[in-house]
Every structure is written in structure tokens, then in C-alpha cells.
């Protein structure tokens, strides 16, 4: 539901067919926020539109408790903005920009490996904060971006609470070596 320009959402902990597919991206890209049902894509679209109307930087803040779906919401917003960027492209520059967008979208598993761990509440809990900045040109396509991390839970490297684990990257490294080397 909306609370002003804020969308309050609940993690369903399951996949809902059609909720975040290409048709949903298309549908929300054609409407202003509030014209159709509340959705994370409506917020992303409003942000994208305001970038052009006001010529001001825009920001989307995602917050919630562990397991609320913040990481997934971030991925969905990036997916939507990437689709909007692709729509704004001229064919000649599409391939180059697609690489930039693809790199931004594909950075998530790397960030999760180094910054996520199993907790008692969430098997893939982010143990850090991140600020994602996208550089969007006047034509509307993504030209670049950067991800800044902060507040990494450093003590997790040496100590975990009962029922919790270290960062995923350590288990991935161990899985990649021979048994005799362990």
C-alpha cells in the first residue's frame, strides 16, 4: 500500500507469477504512481520520471527488518531502471550500455557472497549497508554507476552467534578446494 509517496510492502517469501515480469515493467512504466495498484516498479518509475521533470538527483531509500526483502527490492528497482534505460536507447549505443547495466545487475551475487551470511532469521542476510549510485545521461540511459558499502559486520569473521554462519564467500572458497587440502 502507499503512504504518500512511500510504498509499504510485505515479503511474501514465495514467487508470485506475473508480479515482477516484463509485462509488469511495461505496465508500470506507462502510469504515474497511484494510478494503478501499489508496486515497487511504480516507485522506481516515479523516481525515473522526476529525474526528467525536475532535473534533480533522485533517491530511493529501502529499509526494513531482516528478511523483509530489501535486497530483492533493490534488485527489482535495478531491473526496472535497466529496462527503462534500454527503452530510451538508440540502437547504435545499445550494446555498449547493455554491458554497463549488465555489470551493475550482475554485481549483486558478488556483493552477497562477501557481505551476506546465514542468521537465525534469514539464510541470506545482508550484514552490511550499501549505497548504489546510477549515472543516467540526458537521453535516459544508464551510463555508469558505483556501489559503496558501509557498516560491514566485521566481527562475524571471527565469531558467530549460535545457529549462524560466517560470510558465504568462505564456504564458497572451501567448496572449491580438494578434500585433502581442507
Residue set of the binding site: 64-71
List the grid coordinates of 120: 537465525
**Residue 4 has what DSSP assignment?**
T
**Helix H or strand E encompassing 45:** helix 40-54
Least Cα distance to 85 among 137, 145, 21 occurs for 137
Which residue has cell 556501489? 147
DSSP letter (8 states) at residue 28: H
- Binding-site annotation, residues for ATP: 64-71
- Give the Cα separation of 89 and 87 in Å (integer): 6
- In this structure, are residues 124 and 111 in contact, taking their beta carbons and an 8 Å threshold? no
Read off the DSSP letter of residue 67.
Answer: T
Amino acid at each position: 500500500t502507499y503512504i504518500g509517496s512511500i510504498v509499504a510492502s510485505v515479503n511474501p517469501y514465495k514467487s508470485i507469477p506475473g508480479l515482477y515480469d516484463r509485462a509488469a515493467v511495461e505496465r508500470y512504466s506507462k502510469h504515474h504512481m497511484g494510478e494503478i495498484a501499489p508496486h515497487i516498479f511504480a516507485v522506481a518509475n516515479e523516481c525515473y520520471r522526476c529525474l526528467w521533470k525536475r532535473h534533480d538527483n533522485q533517491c530511493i531509500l529501502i529499509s526494513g527488518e531482516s528478511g523483509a526483502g530489501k535486497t530483492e527490492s533493490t534488485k527489482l528497482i535495478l531491473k526496472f531502471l535497466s529496462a527503462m534505460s534500454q527503452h530510451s536507447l538508440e540502437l547504435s549505443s545499445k550494446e555498449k550500455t547493455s554491458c554497463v547495466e549488465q555489470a551493475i545487475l550482475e554485481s549483486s551475487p558478488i556483493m552477497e557472497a562477501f557481505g551476506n551470511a546465514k542468521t537465525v532469521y534469514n539464510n541470506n542476510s545482508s550484514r552490511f549497508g550499501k549505497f548504489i549510485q546510477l549515472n543516467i545521461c540526458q537521453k535516459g540511459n544508464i551510463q555508469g554507476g558505483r556501489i559503496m558499502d558501509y557498516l560491514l559486520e566485521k566481527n562475524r569473521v571471527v565469531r558467530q552467534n549460535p545457529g549462524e554462519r560466517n560470510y558465504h564467500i568462505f564456504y564458497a572458497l572451501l567448496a572449491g578446494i580438494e578434500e585433502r587440502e581442507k
